[in-house]
Amino acid sequence: MWTVVYIAPTKKEAEKIRQSLAKEGILVKLKAIGQPQQSMNCSIEILVPEAEADEALEIINGL
């Protein structure tokens, strides 16, 4: 099951976090919150597998 570990205010920030997590070997999905046509200007959920949530949060908190 996928778990939301962070909600980024922009797609740019979400991509930065995704890259940091992926570099550590964590699977990551990004999901836009809001209308699809506004995906560049809406918040983005960062999801990871439930088993990796604690590790992902530690990495995010270290950024």
User: pLDDT tens digit string along 6-57?
Assistant: 999 988 999 999 999 999 999 999 999 877 655 567 899 999 999 999 999 9
pLDDT of residue 52: 97
The parent domain of residue 13 ranges over: 2-61
Q: What is the pTM of this model?
A: 0.87
Q: Is the dihedral of CA 48, 7, 29, 14 positive or negative?
A: negative
Give phi and psi for 41, each to the nearest 5.
-115, 10
> Count H helices, E strands: the chain?
2, 3
CA distance 60 to 35: 26
- Residue 21: which CATH number? 3.30.70.1530
pLDDT of residue 36: 62
Name the token pair of 1: 């099951």
Number of domains in the chain: 1
Taking phi first (over 0 means left), then psi (-120 to 50 degrees means alpha), and beta for anything else, what does residue 62 get?
Answer: alpha
